[in-house]
Structures are given as C-alpha cells and as structure tokens.
Structure 1
Amino acid sequence: MSVKISAVLITKNGGPYFQQCLDSLAFADEIVVLDSGSTDDTVAIAEMAGARVFVSEDWPGFGPQRQRAQEHARGEWLFWVDTDEVVTDDLAASIQDVVARGPENTVFQVKRLSWFFGRFIRHSGWYPDKVVRLYRRGEFGYDDALVHEKVHCPGAMMDTLDGDLLHYTATDFADYMAKSLRYANDWADARAVRGKTASLFSACSHSLAAFFRKYVLQKGFLDGRHGFLLAVTTAIYAFNKYAALWLKTYR
C-alpha cells in the first residue's frame, strides 16, 4: 500500500498530551517518531500507537533533527506535529483534502491555538500562530537552525489549512520556564557562533520592548490576567536571550 501522509514527530519525554496527540493522527497512513533519549514511557507509548520509532544517540539541534526524521518517513506528504499538539477534526479533514488534490510546489500552514495555564490565548500575538507543517517530502525540508527552525521553501506557494492545531504549550510553570531558558541559551549559542554580541543594557531594553509589544501592541490585555502573565514571561525570555549572549561573548 502506498503511503500518502506521514505524520512525523521528534520527541524527548513526550509529556502529558503525547497520547492525545498520537490519537489525533489517525488520519495519517503512518506515524514516524524520532526520539532523542526519552527517560519516560514516550517510546513505549509511540510503539503502542503503531508508530515507526527510531532513536538517535545525539542531539544536533532542532533543524538537523527534523532533517533526520524526514529521512525515515515514507509518505508522499509530510505533516509535522509536536508532542504537545493535538489535531482537530477540521484540521485533519483539511489535510486529507489537500493531499487528495495534490498541488505541487505548495506548502501549507496550520493555525495554532495555544493553551497557557488554563486558557486558550486568542490575542497577544499568539493567534493565529501560523506555521508551515504540511508539504511534499520530495520538494522541501527543514533548515539547519538549532532552535526556531523553519521549513526551507524558497519560491513555494503558501496556503493555510482550515481548522486549528491545539497547542498545549504551557501546562506546568516550572517546565515552561525551564524550556524557555533552554531556548534562550540555544539562541545565544547560535548568535555567538555568528560573531554577535550583546550588553546588559540591550538585555534590559529588549525585555521592556517585548513586554510592551506583547501586552499593548498585540492586545495581550484582552486575554486578562493570563495575557499579563504571558507578557511578563515573554519579557523574561527576551532578557535571558541577550544576557546569555553577553555572558558568552563579553571580554
């Protein structure tokens, strides 16, 4: 049987929504999981769901890891999903419709609706959080970015799928802040390699600007107390990025 749609994930300790994520991928012809050293039952859960599971011994960064995962997929079309994301029925139907039509040289964005400690955020610059997730395997792939990787698709047509991708990005505060700190450090590493520098003043100014943009310009105040908390954590992330870069490069 030919494989039309491969749902592809990179994993490490899948988290509380991993099973629900896998269940929502029933529309795919195969599920491909590339794990990078989970210490919980992520691999077992994936295998029980019928996924084709592979394990990498090292961690090369997000972009390169997605490139590796793509090599394991057999589908004509790849749909990427993270372990804390759940595909709605409307989105699944839209994916199937696109694959049936079979357009060439086209990538498709999803609209992510993100959960933030008890509330879906519909403002604050978080919705619609459009990100490319569906494309033909033989046409495109991810770039080499260590963090905040993107699908490399120069010259491609771009369209948006119907339905939302539910993103349970923030359910545990300690885990959320720890992930934010890791991302900030990865960002600083990538900039330091390129010869970029920063100062503590730039860390403070970027932090203040991030809060103002999130809470005022992007109307985070319409998300109530959750919007205020989101603006504060965004400011902290901005500060950590530039502070980490300063620590890595100052003389």
Structure 2
Amino acid sequence: MPTLTVAMIVKNEAQDLAQCLDTVKDWVDEIVILDSGSTDNTQQIALNYGAKFYQNTDWQGFGKQRQLAQQYVTSDYVLWLDADERVTSELQQSIQHALRSNPQNTVYQIGRLSEVFGRKIRHSGWYPDYVVRLYKTDYAQYGDELVHEKVHYPKEAKLEKLQGDLLHFTYKDIHHYLVKSASYAKAWSIQKANAGKKATLFQGITHAIGCFMKMYIFKAGFLDGKQGLLLALLSTHSTFVKYADLWNRTRDQ
C-alpha cells in the first residue's frame, strides 16, 4: 500500500496537538509538522509522537507555509490536518481504502463537522464542509493565498469525497473567535488590497446582512439552536470587519 504522511502547520497548539495526533499516530507512516514560532510546549509534544519537526518564522501566509511543509513530506500521499481536528474511525477506513485503490489523477475531499461553543453545527452552511485534504504528494499543492488557502491540482483531476467526518473543534470561546477572525480579516484585506481591490463601508454592511440571512435563514442556522444564532451574528460582524479593513487600507488610493 502507498505510504502516507500527515502534514501540519502550527503555532502554539499545545492545547490541541496531542488529541489530534492520537487519531493518526498508529496508522500513518510519517508526521511532518512545520512550526511558525511557538512559545508553548508544541515542539515537545510533536517530538513525543515521533513527528519530524521543522520551523519557519518568516511567515508569508498560510499557502506558502503549507508549500514549504510539503517539501519535507517523503510519503506517496499527504493528508493535511489542523491541530484542532480529529480523524474519526470511519474517515480513517475511507482514507486507507483510497490508498489501497491508489487511482491515478485523483484528489480527495473530506467533510468537516465543526463543534462551536459546545454544539456540533449541522446546518448554517457549515456541514458537510468539504475540503481537499488528501492527494499524491507530487500531484498537487496549496496555492500562494495569504488566508483561506486552497489546494491547486490539474484540471483533469478527479475529485472524490471520502466517507466519515473530520471533527473540527474550531473556537474555544468568544475571545478565541474574535482573535482568530480578526487575524483572518486582516490577511483577507491585505490579500485583496495587494490585488488592487477596494471596498466601501456600504459593501461591508450589505455583505454582512447577506451573511446573516444566508447562514441563519437560508442555510437553516436556526436549527443549530443558540449556537447557530451566535455563530450567525459573529460571522456577520466578521464579514463587516474585513470589508471595513479593506476600505481603511485603500481609502486614500
């Protein structure tokens, strides 16, 4: 059967890393972790699991950091994980079946099931949150995006969905959400500004309202209870902030 590496980019993930690696340590061939400057116990935890641990503090965005991490991968296939994710047994079996089949020109999507503020979110447009995470190491790689990076693969590639959920414990609390979303908003606005894009505050308002309507009404976020309402409101805020940030960066241009 082809070999498999779990690849990760991390920074200060001591709280989550061990729980993530516990779900893969017994059945993958290699664990590659690229750290961007942790000050907690991330490195020691990674080494305890036999991971190959590297550091790069010259941060140029999520996409380029993943590109660099992939250069350290030595297996036939690479499976990308974040520290706040957990591979379920059903997903493990599906991944192993894909490796045994070993088809040509194929990349694999994995459905994420996110838990937010103590509840698994099955509506709100969040489930199943399919992302490309498994492919042959020499066949595809992430793009240069600063944030919301995506895997780039040949046009002739077949896209297949794997069975089983990838559990995603995305936000610990409100403060964690606000810090994380502010970081994403900044990276998004820089990326857009660098591409010559501009925005108005009115666009921020309309996109924010549209975000709430889509998540809470059209995507049935109301079925996710209080967490669904809170998530829709927070996402509305984050949407406005990223457009406001872009407006502020480009208003004198």
**Amino acid aligned to 1:87:** V
Q: Distance in 2 between matches of 1:209 and 1:31?
A: 41
Distance in 2, Cα, partners of 1:140 & 1:220: 34
For structure 1, the residue ranges without an aligned partner over 5 or more in a row are none
Which residue number in structure 1 is paired with residue 13 of structure 2? 14
Q: Shift of residue 203 of structure 1?
A: 1.0
C-alpha distance in 1, partners of 2:219/2:212? 10
Give the TM-score normalised by structure 2. Answer: 0.97
1:1-251 aligned at under 5 Å gives the runs 4-26=3-25, 27-155=27-155, 156-251=157-252
Distance 2:2 2:52 in 1: 13
Q: Secondary structure at the match of 1:216?
A: helix
Q: Is the 8 A contact 1:3 1:29 kept in 2?
A: no
After superposition, give the CA deviation of every residue in 1:211-241 in whole Å (9 maximum; x if it has no partner).
1111001110011111100100110110011
3-state SS of paired residue (1:7): strand
Distance in structure 2 (CA, Å) of the matches to 1:225 and 1:57: 39
Contact kept, 8 Å, 2:106 with 2:159, in 1: the verdict is: yes
Kindly, what percent of the aligned residue pairs are identical? Answer: 47
Shift of 1:58: 1.1
Indicate if the aligned counterparts of 1:108 and 1:158 stay in contact, CA closer than 8 A: yes
Q: TM-score, normalised by structure 1?
A: 0.97
Query: How far apart in 1 are the matches of 2:22 and 2:54?
Result: 19
SS of structure 1 residue aligned to 2:114: strand
Tell me by how many angstroms 1:16 deviates.
2.4
The amino acid that maps onto 1:53 is F
Deviation of 1:172 (Å) = 2.2
Letter in 1 for 2:197: K
**How many residues are aligned here?**
250
> By how many angstroms is 1:200 displaced?
1.1
Map Cα deviations across residues 78-100 of structure 1 (whole Å, 9 max, x no partner): 00000100001111111111111
Structure 1 residues 62 and 32: alpha-carbon distance in aligned structure 2, compared to 1, 3 A threshold:
same
Separation in 1 of the partners of 2:210 and 2:173?
26
Question: How far apart in 1 are the matches of 2:209 and 2:173?
Answer: 25
CA–CA separation in structure 1 for the residues paired with 2:28 and 2:171: 26
Aligned partner of residue 146 in structure 1, secondary structure = coil
* Change in CA separation of 1:132 and 1:140 when aligned onto 2, cut-off 3 Å: same
Deviation at 1:15, TM superposition (A): 4.7
CA distance in 2, matches of 1:171, 1:194: 33
RMSD: 1.1
Q: Secondary structure at the match of 2:33?
A: strand
**Per-residue deviation at 1:204?**
1.0
